[in-house]
Structure formats: structure tokens, C-alpha cells
Amino acid sequence: MTDPSWETDSPLPFRMALDRILETARTIGIERIPIEAALGRIAARDLIAPIDVPAHPIALRDGYALCAGETRGAALMEPKRLRIVRQAFPETPATQMPEIAPDEAVQVATGAPMPPGADTVLTAERADARGDELLITAPVRAGSGILPAGGDVRRGTPIVSEGSALHPMRLGLLATTGLEHIEAFRVPRVGIVATGDEFPARPPSNLITLAAWCERFRFPVRHWVCRDDPPAIVHAVLSALRECDAVLTIGGTGPGSRDLIRDALGEIGWHTLVDGVQLRPGRTTRYGLARNKPVFALPGRPTANETAFLLLALPGLAQLAGSRARALPEVPARLARDLRRGREREQSTRAIKVHLYADDYFLHAVPLVGRALQKERGRLQAAAAGQGIVLLEEGDVGLRRGDVLPVLLLERSWA
């Protein structure tokens, strides 16, 4: 249920709009999947280690497993002599390792099970082996070169917490404990509906951009392209709601006579939660629930469309997938030049794309705005070069060169 006091017909501050989205974007279910298919998914339960890893003590290095007490008093002129009775390798079953006698040693490879009775490993580099005899010329410390049972993972301990993303190293850790299937939050299917009589036969560029962002975050996409015709828009949105878990619409959110999305959504029982956002670009963005599913009505202008998706829709979609982390990671960077804005625009949050580069000490952010830049590159080309986003919050007159500020990363590498 949503709070009736949320209903509004005026633009909301950006942070308030984002909070409403995150408070109403619920996870869409849990499924059991093979670990091989879990990359990038979000754990729906704490994942508990069912066994100790390793299950028995193992050698951490190549060398000789022996009892450290037998090396007491060993010296160069009076070495201790042990008999090498066998070899052991990582694939050697621990159950086939008989206990060694005090005057015996076992040659072991890294990862091999330790024989009962042995409490240390003398490294191969320090060993003097002559046939089946091992000469010890200095005492060896007990416990050296051994990983005890449960030394990596203890049985019964949580190894991945609920809400954590399953990246390659976590999947490898899960695999070492013998887990073959896990419970993960379902990934939302995203429907994208683009409207407009101006579109050619092929999908519009905004749709391609949003679909690519969704696929980057592993959200399956279906799309519909329809004319500026109310029945056609209603039919497309209803189709998207039937087949998908969340819907994005492109275009038709403004106040013009041909901006038909708002009325079309009203016809299908749209429950408005955000009716415009104090965000530039992207101020005509709307959000609500239809058939209990999130619907993000995004502007049609390319820069506003992508900005609204990245800052508002993407966090909501990530939360639908169970993520508790930021959809876009944040890093500090030093501003490369001043950013100023007129006082009439201070009532909105302004999103500015930046180019990032690193020197020996800092990451620097170069704002991709200004008439000179857009004249040189063109508005869309300048926006496409962005590697991060800087936000000028409401009330900020601007920022000065050298200020250190958070940057939302669009790319994880930079020139």
C-alpha cells in the first residue's frame, strides 16, 4: 500500500522523488538457480557454509610433512635424520594417509592432506633429501606451512549475506563449500514503450540506449514502438504490464497537446506517486504504479531521457532485483573547472556529465557542458563522452575548480 498523502500534481525535489521510488519498488520474488547461472545475481538468503574448507589440514607449500618435536636439537653438524615413507598430492584421499611414526616424513605437494601425526611442513627449499632419507639441520616450528581444517571457511558460518551481489570470487567461494544451487532474487523483466509519430521503422535511439543500459545490468528487455495514438499507447502499455515486471515509457510526458502518456496511463489505473521532478534535465519524469507494477514515464529528449533513467529508474530497477548497493558506484574526483548556474535554476538538482582522467595523485572531472564544448562536439556527442555524473543539488549556485565532489560512475575505467 502507498501513502495517499504522496499523491501530487507538482514536481518533487529530486531526493524526495528518488525516496518514493525506492520505498515502493519491491523485490519480485525468489528463485533457486544453479551456481553457474548466478553471476551478477543478488543473494536472497544468507548463504551458510555446509562444510569446513578445507575439510582436513592441508599443506600450504611443497615440502615434507613431519613432527616438529623430532627436529629439536637439529644442527648443521648434527642433523636429525628422518625416513621419507611416501608421497601425497592434492588428489590423495585424506582417509588413505596413515599416521606417521616419529622418525618418518611424507613428501607433500601444495594442497595435499597432512598425514596424522605431522604438525609442520619443511619447505622443499630448506630440505636436504637424499634418496629416502631427509636430513634436518635446524629446528622446525610446529604449525608452519599448514592450513588447518576450517582455516578458509568454517562450517555453519555465513559466507555471503542476503542482498549481496554474486561476483566471480564469491561464486568461487560458494563452489568450494560444495553448494550447487542458491536462492537469488528474480531479475525484473523490463518493458520499454516508445511513443511518437516521428519514429522510422527501426527502433528509436532512446530505446536502443535504455535497452543497452538494462542489458548491462542483466535486466531482460522487451520493447514496443507505437504512434501518438491514445488507444495504441494504452494497448502497448497493457501488453508490457502483462509480460514484464516494470515498464519504461519514452516520450509524451510534457504538457503539449501531443504528450499523451499521462492520459493513457490514467486510463489503465495509473496510481501517480511522482508527477514531475525538480531535475534538469529530466523534469517531466513521472512515476507510479499500474497493476501493482512500477511504471517510469521518461521524457523523450535524449539527454533528459538517459538522465532520468540513470538517476531515477535504474535505482528502482536495481532494488526490484534485490540489490542494496548503489546502482551506480560513487567515487571522489577533483573538479577541473568552475561550474556556475543562474539563480533561477537553483530550485532544481542539475545533473552534469563529466569526462574523467587520472594523474599521479587524483581523479579529475571535466564538465561536459558549455556552449563552446557543445559547438565543438555537438550536444549528443558531448553527452556520449561522459564517464560520470556530477550533481549540483538544489540551492547550489555552483562549484569551483579544485572542489572535491562525488561522481556517479558510468564507466569503470577512464583515460
For the cut 90, the answer to whether the pLDDT of residue 183 exceeds it is yes
Residue 92 has pLDDT above 90, yes or no: yes
Interatomic CA distance for residues 251 and 206, integer angstroms: 9
CATH architecture of 34-53+151-185: Alpha-Beta Complex (3.90)
Cell numbers that stand for 301 in this block: 529528449
State what percent of residues in the chain have pLDDT above 70: 90
Query: What is the average per-residue pLDDT within 380-403?
Result: 82
pLDDT class of 258 with cuts at 50, 70, 90: low
> Could you read off the pLDDT of 66-88 as tens digits, one per residue?
999 989 988 888 888 999 999 99
Calculate mean pLDDT across residues 7-14: 77
- Percentage of the chain with pLDDT > 90? 59
* pLDDT of 202: 62
Task: State the cell numbers at 57.
Answer: 589440514
| Domain boundaries 330-409, corresponding CATH code | 2.40.340.10
Q: What is the pLDDT of residue 220?
A: 95
Q: How far apart are CA 82 and CA 238, in angstroms?
A: 80
CA 257/CA 142 separation, integer angstroms: 83
* Predicted confidence (pLDDT) at residue 352 exceeds the cutoff of 60: yes
Contact 223, 194 (CB under 8 A): yes
Give the per-residue pLDDT at 370: 67
User: Which listed CATH number (2.40.50.140, 2.170.190.11, 3.40.50.300, 3.40.50.1370) goes with 58-147?
Assistant: 2.170.190.11
Which of 106-110, 121-125, 189-193, 357-361 has the lowest average pLDDT? 357-361
* Amino acid identity for residue 232 in this structure: A
User: Of the candidates 358, 364, 354, 348, which has an alpha carbon nearest to the alpha carbon of residue 401?
Assistant: 364
Query: Quick one: pLDDT at residue 1?
Result: 43
Spatial distance between the Cα atoms of 239 and 246, rounded to a whole number of angstroms = 12
The H or E element containing residue 377 is helix 371-377
Provide the pLDDT confidence category of residue 346 given band limits of 50, 70 and 90: low
pLDDT of residue 210: 95
Coil, helix or strand at residue 274? strand
**pLDDT at 167 > cutoff 50:** yes
Q: Say whether pLDDT at 195 is over 70.
A: yes
User: Is residue 276 within 8 Å of 283, Cβ to Cβ?
Assistant: yes
Q: How far apart are CA 300 and CA 372, in angstroms?
A: 25
Instruction: For residue 353, give the 3-state DSSP assignment.
Output: strand
The pLDDT value recorded for residue 410 is 92
Listed ranges 123-137, 272-286, 396-410; the one with the highest mean pLDDT: 272-286
| 101 — pLDDT class (breaks 50, 70, 90) | very high
**The pLDDT of residue 24 is above 80:** yes
* Domain coordinates in residue numbering, the chain: 4-29+186-320, 34-53+151-185, 58-147, 330-409
The C-alpha atoms of residue 313 and residue 22 are separated, in whole angstroms, by 10
Q: How confident is the model at residue 411 (pLDDT cuts 50, 70, 90)?
A: confident
pTM for this one?
A: 0.82
CATH topology of domain 4-29+186-320: Molybdenum Cofactor Biosythetic Enzyme; Chain A (3.40.980)
**CA angle at residue 84 from 78 to 85, to 5 degrees?**
145
Indicate the SS3 state at residue 82. Answer: strand
